[in-house]
Amino acid sequence: MTELPKAYDPAAVEPDLYEDWLAAGLFSADPDDEGEPFAIVIPPPNVTGALHIGHALTNAIEDAMVRRARMQGKNAVWIPGMDHAGIATQNVVEKQLAAEGTDRHELGREAFVERVWEWKEESGGRILDQLRKLGSSLDWDREAFTFDEPRSRAVREVFVSLHEQGLIYRGNRLINWCPRCHTALSDIEVDHSDDVGELARFRYPFADDPDGGIEVATTRAETMLGDTAIAVHPDDERYADVVGREVRHPFQDRTFRVIADDYVDPEFGSGAVKITPAHDPNDHAIALRHDLEVIDILAEDATLTDVVGERFAGLDRFEARRQVKEELDALGLLLGVDSHEHSVGHCSRCDTVVEPRLSDQWFVEVRPLADKAAQAVRDGRTRLVPDRFTKSFLDWLDGLHDWTISRQIWWGHRIPAWYCPDGHITVTREDAPTACTECGQGGLVQDEDVLDTWFSSQLWPFTVFGWEKPGDTTPELETWYPTAVLETGYDINTFWVSRMLMIGLWFLDEVPFRVIYNHGMVRDQYGKKMSKSFGNVIDPLEFIDEFGADALRFALFQHSSPGTDVPLAPEWVEGAKRFTNKLWNIVGFGLRVLDDARPGALPPREQLALEDRWILSTLERTRAQAEDAYATWDYARISGALYHLAWDELADWYLEAVKPRVYGDDPDTKATAQAVLARVLDDLLRLLHPMIPFVTEQLWRALTGAAGGPESLMVAPYPTGRPDDLDEDAEAGFAAIRDLVTEVRRFRSQNGVAPSARFELTVTSSARGVLEGHRTLVTSLAGLSDVTFVDALEDRPGTSTIVLDGGQAQVELAGLIDVDAELARIDKELARAEGDLRGVEGKLGNANFVDKAPAEVVQQQRDRQVELTRTIEELTAQRGALADLTS
């Protein structure tokens, strides 16, 4: 058989294997094929740059899922694709333009969008390369993009349908506005953080009594320029006679009233609230109840408009905040400015502080959709893994507000709505409608806005299967929808998962996925979130180049349990690399000793040796453990179980145990050993393949002689149960041997007996039967010259006793140890230890040292004193025992 290179070199193996899989069409699936359907759609990565380590985790997990399903004979498909990622991608390109000293407005809309497409090609190409390097077995023939033609048609159909159903509407409402991105945002695109700000208290003078007035407070002083009322609680007696009175605006020539509303908390501050209907959601609600005037003071870039008056017009909001306070102070109206911690909304894409702003936007009325989705979760038609995410998922659905879907950016699906000169709205499937549906006029102009990127991503689980409009059906949809599992990080359950669930149920009347599997976030070795600002992000390609894709994957699996964050350090990946190398050498050993034996049928059970039955039993038990862990996609357990099997059981014990036979001359026992070894290696590679596809494929080809191409481990059957292999007697028997061997090794280590030194052992044990029956095995593993079994040990001088599990072993010390040399060694060590101890005690006896040295250092010396004292005691005891021998 082929000799393998001595060490595993991933770079020499991985690229070719991927090409080979591709060429053989092993990633391609056909809806008409046999087998239980099993589909996963990739969470389409944003074309904003390159994949980060979190993507590596997602893709490793999904690849393992789909590879295992494929090996199990399922009709498995994994759909690739990317997301155009509206605002995020536009921001990337805008930054590029800024670096070039220009901006999108200078370029114009058409040229800008063209430019983003160019970037999409570049970024997308890089992502594609990364996905391949990771080993992702994606069906590339089915690659989709959220902004390609078929997906765009579906987006328009969904928009128009929902509009026809009255679930999409246009309205003038208070929305979240990002002054930097110049667009509306949905609620979940706003990240709240508790920031330390200021609470400014000031007085609004009464219109008829400039020296009197009412105290209010605000964190955004500039909003007072748009105040149109002051509200107090109806039951607040302090203000009972103030309600209805007018106050005068200090900077503008207008007055407004004090009103009463339940919303006000009398306990907070003065108990009176200034009302800015255009820039605060609560105030807006109050304005509607009381029919207040609404004054919009903010421009798109959050500078103040002319309505605020000459003094402040044109100022940036933060500058205005400062100056308003100054002016109030100058007028003697400012009562104080206190530090105040409060929640501030930031744009999730650029971190700019968002402003509530009144504007015309498109909305989805989500209630009916959300109710359906929540019902599906409650019915168990789809379930979350781990289950603990279910509650917050449902809470979120239950409390959902209407979804702002229009964005004032250029990169995205243009809203299929047109306006006639009279402002009537025509929503249509047509590309270029010529007549207003309301008045029949021509000269229609399309809405400038584009859709929230999630509006198209939500259609992903069915548009990738050819769905373009309600009622569509395709072979792919019939076979693969609902998909088996939606695997993604818990951070996008609200953004993406919930929306897919809502819209999938709405248009296809069936959940888009039966399981929502949430993996955790990848963190660094200190548990810190990886982020650009921390400077701790690592490019997956760096790991792959250094350790191989399998190593990166395995390291991620080793720490990945459902919903649990995954810490990752270079050392972890290095450790996983060592595992792949170990595997390489395990199989390499196998190849050297198997002669022409290939995995196949085993000899009858009675021909198997104890160690054979033990390893087969262990293999089956581990396989079952992995199987159980797969039921919950607990990759930390799965990888842990298989790692343990390969390294601690197979490599450390079985391979050593089997050497006497495979290197021996007895053709029968040799053939049996070879058959078992081949079987175990074969199964191990199959079990590991979904997680570490490259190294296992390469080794499996060497082991089985498979030619590659269609002869691939990728499509070899995944091991199913062999319950007959479970053998408790063999496990117990081998455990007894193992115990004896380990105790002998410990004896050697503690007594300075070289591993190469042979000696005799006299043993008494409750496991005598097994041990005696496997004399060769015992002596070879423990490095003994001979072993004798007795009913009871005699108490003999000059011997040492080794305690066993259920027995004892006796070693003749004479001759085993060169007593004089050992005595000399011990004396030398003793002298050194005593010298050290004197030094330490000298220091500790020095009052100067004890008083002045840092407590830590003193303690260090004390610890060392204790340690040295103990060492000396032990050495002295050893010396005594040895001296007895010579006398």
Partner RNA sequence: GGGCGCGUAGCUCAGUGGUACGAGCGCCGCCUUCACACGGCGGAAGUCGCUGGUUCGAUCCCAGCCGCGCCCACCA
Between 82 and 816, CB nearer to RNA = 816
Q: Minimum Å distance from CB 436 to RNA?
A: 37
Between 124 and 266, CB nearer to RNA = 266
Between 233 and 623, CB nearer to RNA = 233
Q: Minimum Å distance from CB 749 to RNA?
A: 3
Stretch that binds RNA, among 157-165, 320-328, 412-420, 558-566 (CB under 7 A): 558-566
By the rule CB under 7 A, 392 interacts with RNA: yes
By the rule CB under 7 A, 523 interacts with RNA: yes
By the rule CB under 7 A, 280 interacts with RNA: yes
Nearest Cα neighbor of 277 from 233, 344, 227, 231 is: 227
Compute the distance between CA of residue 418 and CA of residue 437 in angstroms, rounded to an integer: 10
By the rule CB under 7 A, 559 interacts with RNA: yes
Q: Minimum Å distance from CB 665 to RNA?
A: 14
Q: Minimum Å distance from CB 677 to RNA?
A: 12
Of the candidate residues 529, 796, 852, 870, the single one contacting RNA (CB under 7 A): 529
Q: What are phi and psi of 341, to 5 degrees?
A: -90, 130
Nearest Cα neighbor of 686 from 21, 74, 4, 70 is: 70
By the rule CB under 7 A, 281 interacts with RNA: yes
Between 261 and 725, CB nearer to RNA = 261
For residues 327 and 318, the answer to whether their CB atoms sit within 8 Å is no
For residues 523 and 389, the answer to whether their CB atoms sit within 8 Å is no
By the rule CB under 7 A, 267 interacts with RNA: yes
Between 796 and 828, CB nearer to RNA = 828
Between 318 and 663, CB nearer to RNA = 663
Q: Minimum Å distance from CB 7 to RNA?
A: 3
Binding track, positions 646-665, relative to RNA; x by CB under 7 A: -x---xx--xx--x---x--
By the rule CB under 7 A, 776 interacts with RNA: no
Q: Minimum Å distance from CB 510 to RNA?
A: 27
By the rule CB under 7 A, 170 interacts with RNA: no
Between 312 and 557, CB nearer to RNA = 557
Sign for the CA dihedral angle at 429, 435, 436, 437 comes to negative
Report 827-886 residues binding RNA (CB under 7 A): none
Give the H/E segment covering residue 303: none
Of the candidate residues 404, 561, 622, 696, the single one contacting RNA (CB under 7 A): 561
Report, in angstroms and rounded to the nearest whole number, the Rg of the chain calculated over CA atoms.
37
Q: Minimum Å distance from CB 240 to RNA?
A: 16
Report 663-692 residues binding RNA (CB under 7 A): 663
Of the candidate residues 2, 339, 533, 756, the single one contacting RNA (CB under 7 A): 756
List of residues 6+ apart from 97 with CB closer than 8 A: 103, 104, 107, 115
Neighbours of 294 (CB within 10 A): 17
Stretch that binds RNA, among 27-35, 99-107, 384-392, 692-700 (CB under 7 A): 384-392
Between 9 and 208, CB nearer to RNA = 9
Q: Minimum Å distance from CB 827 to RNA?
A: 16
By the rule CB under 7 A, 399 interacts with RNA: yes
Nearest Cα neighbor of 230 from 212, 219, 217 is: 217
List beta partners, residue 804: 807
3-state DSSP of 168-180:
EEEEEEEEEEECC
By the rule CB under 7 A, 326 interacts with RNA: no
Stretch that binds RNA, among 92-100, 411-419, 525-533, 607-615 (CB under 7 A): 525-533
By the rule CB under 7 A, 265 interacts with RNA: yes
Between 399 and 854, CB nearer to RNA = 399
By the rule CB under 7 A, 402 interacts with RNA: no
Strands (E), 401-537: 403-404, 406-407, 417-419, 425-427, 445-446, 450-451, 483-489, 513-519, 522-523
For residues 62 and 76, the answer to whether their CB atoms sit within 8 Å is no
By the rule CB under 7 A, 269 interacts with RNA: yes
Q: Minimum Å distance from CB 217 to RNA?
A: 5
Is residue 831 classed as helix, strand or coil in its secondary structure?
helix
Of the candidate residues 723, 755, 854, 880, the single one contacting RNA (CB under 7 A): 755
Compute the distance between CA of residue 159 and CA of residue 415 in angstroms, rounded to an integer: 8
Of the candidate residues 471, 527, 535, 667, the single one contacting RNA (CB under 7 A): 527
Of the candidate residues 115, 582, 621, 864, the single one contacting RNA (CB under 7 A): 582
Between 139 and 198, CB nearer to RNA = 198
Residue 810: both structure tokens together? 């006796």
Give residue for tokens 């100056």: 323
Between 126 and 738, CB nearer to RNA = 738
Q: Minimum Å distance from CB 526 to RNA?
A: 5
Compute the distance between CA of residue 750 and CA of residue 746 in angstroms, rounded to an integer: 6
Report 713-752 residues binding RNA (CB under 7 A): 742, 745-746, 748-750
Compute the distance between CA of residue 286 and CA of residue 261 in angstroms, rounded to an integer: 8
By the rule CB under 7 A, 798 interacts with RNA: no
Long-range contacts (CB closer than 8 Å, 24 or more residues apart) made by 785-790: 785/758, 785/759, 785/760, 786/760, 786/761, 787/760, 787/761, 787/762, 787/763, 788/760, 788/761, 788/762, 788/763, 789/762, 789/763, 789/764, 789/765, 790/762, 790/763, 790/764
Stretch that binds RNA, among 44-52, 615-623, 632-640, 679-687 (CB under 7 A): 632-640
Longest C-alpha distance within the chain, in Å? 121
Q: What are phi and psi of 204, to 5 degrees?
A: -95, 120
Report 589-618 residues binding RNA (CB under 7 A): 589, 592
Burial of 644 (0-12, 13-18, 19+ CB in 10 A): middle
By the rule CB under 7 A, 349 interacts with RNA: no
List of residues 6+ apart from 107 with CB closer than 8 A: 97, 115
Stretch that binds RNA, among 32-40, 452-460, 578-586, 701-709 (CB under 7 A): 578-586
By the rule CB under 7 A, 268 interacts with RNA: yes
Between 26 and 230, CB nearer to RNA = 230
By the rule CB under 7 A, 8 interacts with RNA: yes
Give residue for tokens 């498995």: 76
Q: Minimum Å distance from CB 446 to RNA?
A: 32
Of the candidate residues 105, 238, 342, 378, the single one contacting RNA (CB under 7 A): 342
Neighbours of 432 (CB within 10 A): 8
Give the H/E segment covering residue 695: helix 693-704
For residues 284 and 307, the answer to whether their CB atoms sit within 8 Å is no
Between 391 and 852, CB nearer to RNA = 391
Q: Minimum Å distance from CB 678 to RNA?
A: 15
Report 193-252 residues binding RNA (CB under 7 A): 194, 216-220
Residue type, 621: R
Q: Minimum Å distance from CB 422 to RNA?
A: 35
Binding track, positions 483-512, relative to RNA; x by CB under 7 A: --------x--x------------------
Stretch that binds RNA, among 57-65, 365-373, 584-592, 850-858 (CB under 7 A): 584-592
Nearest Cα neighbor of 66 from 41, 45, 83, 43 is: 41
Between 156 and 274, CB nearer to RNA = 274
3-state DSSP of 740-757:
HHHHHHHHHHHHCCCCCC
